[in-house]
Structure 1
């Protein structure tokens, strides 16, 4: 009698474990189809491009510092305006242009930092000899939402970031997040483009959204287990936990007897 009851309790405990499990290995492991010591040639052709509403820092320098002063914008910080000088960034307007000192309006939307550098060097050649131009995007952020451990908006220090690095900033995908259908929402000057990427496959590295651009939004969907939990009354979860504890204690008692 005790053995039969013990068997029923064990079946109940196993059923609870199955119902509360999150997923199998194939659902949560990254790059499952990669082989040991496999070599993949990096075909990174990603080149960052400027978009409308980007903040761009541009600094011009020459061997003659005084000659380059008119081409750099600074403002004094502090209540009286007598504090340290802070460089003024350029905001790309809705026409894709910035208003550059002396030269005037320049359209840089859709251009890479290197292309803008070449463009400015040509335009400044009438005023400066061998100008050196440093260009930096100042508002490079990515937003990570959904089933990640630390969702939020994160600054990127550099010209490029992969989706893996971005997910790392967000504490990685949680155990209840879908890795095979991660959504990347990208804005091209007011036009939204939606792309999905399967991080379980090595082919993800050749996806057009493997490298993120400024203001991209990454959304990780919940898996079926997570969705099921959200549709159940929270009290049910407590009941299941209590039942599991009682079942475990009962099994131990019956086994010892």
Structure 2
């Protein structure tokens, strides 16, 4: 039961993960951004809401393929925004980019009291291995926990190893590999409980399934053939 149950024998308690949850990610190359601008003058703000028509195939949470358009961060870390031209966004948080665009619109006297909203359209996580429906999922809310990601993939199968779930995360030019134990309550206060864009979850198979697949299963036809031959021999002999 311990190996197949989430949070086995975990006591009722409060697990604090707010410190890790509130750390906002910085924007990266190939992020697809939705940037909307509003103002008291709707006609003047309309010219800033014509996004770059960059299409991207996305597997939505429902599993349906769709088209997303927005501002694609290029390999130099920039986007091209109407009127304002090229804006460097890489390394900024969404809040910092909102403040930067708001300041540019105000300083250039292009809009009165502008309100800028920034969202990441291709916030994606992937779930592989011993789950019911392995897939990549776009997360419109830009917030998802490892448990929610597993639920989107149909949960871990009976053959999955909940004590050894691998998380692969990109940090700059590096990749982090972290093993998670979902039978322990410590995951609830872990900095890896909430996923980041482009995180990959891999659920390892149990050793018993690996042994069954690699040793037992190939011998099944041989054993059945031997039994059949023995039965035929005994019948003919009698």
Q: TM-score range by the shorter chain?
A: 0.7 to 0.9
Match of 1:193 in 2: 176
Runs of 5+ consecutive residues of structure 1 not aligned to the other structure: 1-24, 77-85, 242-257
Deviating more after overlay: 186-195 vs 167-176: 186-195
- 1:200 shift after superposition: 1.2
Describe the shift of the 1:74–1:59 C-alpha distance in structure 2 as closer, same or farther (beyond 3 A).
Answer: same
SS in 1 for 2:116: strand
Equivalent position to 1:139, from 122, 127, 132? 122
Aligned length: 207
CA distance in 2, matches of 1:153, 1:87: 15
Match of 2:105 in 1: 124
Write the deviation string for residues 211-254 of structure 1: whole angstroms up to 9, x where unpaired.
1111211111111111112203535457899xxxxxxxxxxxxx
Runs of 5+ consecutive residues of structure 2 not aligned to the other structure: 54-66, 225-238
Match of 2:229 in 1: none
CA distance in 2, matches of 1:71, 1:32: 53
Q: Is the 8 A contact 1:197 1:207 kept in 2?
A: no
Verify: 1:105 aligned to 2:81, yes or no: no
Q: Is the 8 A contact 2:34 2:51 kept in 1?
A: no
CA distance in 2, matches of 1:29, 1:239: 36
Write the deviation string for residues 2-46 of structure 1: whole angstroms up to 9, x where unpaired.
xxxxxxxxxxxxxxxxxxxxxxx121111125213x233442334
Q: Is the 8 A contact 2:35 2:51 kept in 1?
A: no
Equivalent position to 2:24, from 34, 47, 72? 47
Describe the shift of the 1:152–1:237 C-alpha distance in structure 2 as closer, same or farther (beyond 3 A).
Answer: farther
TM-score (norm 2): 0.78
Verify: 1:69 aligned to 2:67, yes or no: no
Match of 1:27 in 2: 3
CA distance in 2, matches of 1:33, 1:46: 30
Match of 2:196 in 1: 213
Q: Is the 8 A contact 1:142 1:154 kept in 2?
A: yes
CA distance in 1, matches of 2:86, 2:174: 24
Q: Is the 8 A contact 1:73 1:88 kept in 2?
A: no
- 1:178 shift after superposition: 1.3
- 1:128 shift after superposition: 1.2
CA distance in 1, matches of 2:52, 2:92: 27
- 1:148 shift after superposition: 0.8
TM-score (norm 1): 0.72
Q: Is the 8 A contact 2:68 2:121 kept in 1?
A: no
Write the deviation string for residues 180-205 of structure 1: whole angstroms up to 9, x where unpaired.
22111112344322222111111112
CA distance in 1, matches of 2:35, 2:157: 40
CA distance in 2, matches of 1:168, 1:192: 25
Q: Is the 8 A contact 1:75 1:87 kept in 2?
A: no
Verify: 1:182 aligned to 2:143, yes or no: no
Write the deviation string for residues 96-142 of structure 1: whole angstroms up to 9, x where unpaired.
22122222222222332222211211111122111111222111221
CA distance in 1, matches of 2:173, 2:41: 41
Q: Is the 8 A contact 2:132 2:155 kept in 1?
A: yes
Deviating more after overlay: 120-129 vs 39-48: 39-48
Verify: 1:151 aligned to 2:126, yes or no: no
Q: Is the 8 A contact 2:33 2:118 kept in 1?
A: yes
